[in-house]
């Protein structure tokens, strides 16, 4: 099974900050990686797929990069609506999620 | 717009069974693989099961294999999850989600239905 490890678990930041979340796979997954945003009581929302492709309708301040085993999600300028939980997911072999990163207000 | 609406959650005693449904609309249901994903209270996301577009291929997480059964009725645009021998560890919000084939992201999710296993 492929394990996904996100860091950090919690990130404290202010509006306007540049934020980076890292996701590491236990083996190579090529670019078969997605990022989701989840707010309390809501379903996850797709942000990024195939490591760096922006889902339609998602603001351009979100970007993804990486391949193989190391991936990052970057929010270029954090907005009030961005305080949420973020999950990476591999879909190279079945589907596995990272444990999540909570982005909270500093 | 694409909609996935789960139902069937509730409180159930340990060892009992429950069946969840996911009604799909505004897309060609019969051409998409469908998944169940769950989230225990305060925890992360866990993939549970997938069924191919035609219902032939099914795969399960080890944590539910042998206890849960995924199925679909393409004539009714509905996905199901039959859950047997439930334990407290199955307490979670259950989401249905779709992918276009297997090697693909979950582009639409339902709102989720809460299953609580408790005596």
**Along chain B (119 residues), what's the average pLDDT of each consecutive run of 10 residues?**
97 98 97 97 97 96 98 98 98 96 90 97
Predicted local distance difference test score (pLDDT) of residue B103 = 80
Within 6-65 of A, beta carbons closer than 8 Å to B belong to 32, 34, 36, 38, 42-46, 49-50, 55
- Say how many CB pairs under 8 Å bridge A and B: 51
Are A46 and B46 within 8 A, CB to CB? no
Are B106 and A36 within 8 A, CB to CB? yes
Q: Which of A32, A42, A43 shows the shortest C-beta gap to B103?
A: A32
CA distance B49 to chain A (A): 10
Residue B105, chain A, CB below 8 Å: the answer is yes
Are B45 and A50 within 8 A, CB to CB? no
Predicted local distance difference test score (pLDDT) of residue B118 = 97
CB within 8 A of A16, min separation 6: which ones?
A77, A78
Residue B46, chain A, CB below 8 Å: the answer is yes
Structure tokens at B101: 């084939």
**E-assigned strand segments in chain A:** 4-7, 10-13, 19-25, 33-38, 45-49, 53-54, 62-67, 70-75, 85-90, 96-97, 101-105
CA distance A79 to chain B (A): 23
**Residue A13 DSSP one-character state:** E
Structure tokens at B67: 């206890």
Low pLDDT (below 70) residues in chain A: none
DSSP string, B60-75: E-TTTTTTEEEEEETT
Q: Which of B99, B104, B109 shows the shortest C-beta gap to A44?
A: B109
Predicted local distance difference test score (pLDDT) of residue B25 = 97
Predicted local distance difference test score (pLDDT) of residue B34 = 97
Predicted local distance difference test score (pLDDT) of residue B100 = 86
Predicted local distance difference test score (pLDDT) of residue B62 = 97
């Amino acid at each position: 099974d492929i394990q996904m490890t996100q860091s950090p678990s919690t990130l404290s930041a202010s509006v306007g900050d540049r934020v980076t979340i890292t996701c590491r796979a236990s083996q190579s997954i090529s670019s078969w990686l997605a990022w989701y945003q989840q707010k309390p009581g809501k379903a996850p929302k797709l942000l990024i797929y195939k490591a760096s492709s922006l889902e339609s309708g998602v603001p351009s301040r979100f970007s993804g990069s990486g391949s193989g085993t190391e991936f990052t999600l970057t929010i270029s300028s954090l907005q009030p609506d961005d305080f949420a939980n973020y999950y990476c997911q591999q879909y190279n072999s079945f589907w596995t999620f990272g444990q999540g990163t909570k982005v909270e207000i500093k | 717009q694409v909609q996935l609406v789960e139902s069937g959650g509730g409180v159930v005693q340990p060892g009992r069974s429950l069946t969840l449904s996911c009604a799909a609309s505004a897309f060609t249901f019969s051409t998409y693989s469908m998944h169940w994903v769950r989230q225990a209270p305060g925890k992360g996301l866990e993939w549970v099961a997938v069924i191919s577009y035609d219902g032939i291929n099914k795969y399960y997480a080890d944590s539910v294999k042998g206890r849960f059964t995924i199925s679909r009725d393409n004539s009714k645009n509905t996905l199901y999850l039959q859950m047997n021998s439930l334990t407290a560890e199955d307490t979670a919000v259950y989401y249905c989600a779709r992918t276009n084939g297997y090697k693909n992201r979950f582009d639409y999710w339902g709102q989720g239905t809460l299953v609580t296993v408790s005596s």
